[in-house]
Amino acid sequence: MTKMPTTPECDYDLVSNEGLLSLLRNESKNIVILDCRSSNEYTESHIRDSVNFSIPSIMLRRLAAGKIELASTIKCRDLKQKICKTYKENLFILYNDLPGVQQHQTDSILNVLLRRLTQDGCRVACLEG
């Protein structure tokens, strides 16, 4: 994984496609892949075992402000349990299809998740490309 800056106060790791494949082969039970694209894009195609994280803008703002917990935004019962039980032990891989600069706008789902997970002490990386 490669360390890349998003903002002056926040760093994140980048993982390549090959790196993700290697991680999935070696420690797949501790990886949560969050697809930060729209539900329609997720339905068209997505990484196997990834979960779509598309939430209404009001909930996204509340998550960014720390007013709600990440688990409260997740509908899938199995994923919610996995996140709650091993929250800080998981490696969260985030991805979307926005170009580099747009991807890290402060109000993008990916950026809000990146900041929130990092603040909560979780391991987090973004998929390259």
Burial 75-105 (b: 16+ CB within 10 A, else e): eeeeeeebbeeebeebbbbbbbebeeeebbe
Contact 30, 90 (CB under 8 A): yes
5 three-state secondary structure: strand
How many domains does the chain contain in total?
A: 1
Containing 92, the helix (H) or strand (E) segment is strand 91-95
Q: What is the CATH number of the domain that holds 91?
A: 3.40.250.10
Residue 103 pLDDT exceeds 50: no
Task: Give tens-digit pLDDT for 3-32.
Answer: 444 443 446 789 999 999 999 898 778 899
Other beta carbons less than 10 A from residue 113's beta carbon: 25
Global pTM value: 0.82
Confidence bin at 81 (pLDDT 50/70/90): confident
Residues of the domain holding 19: 2-127
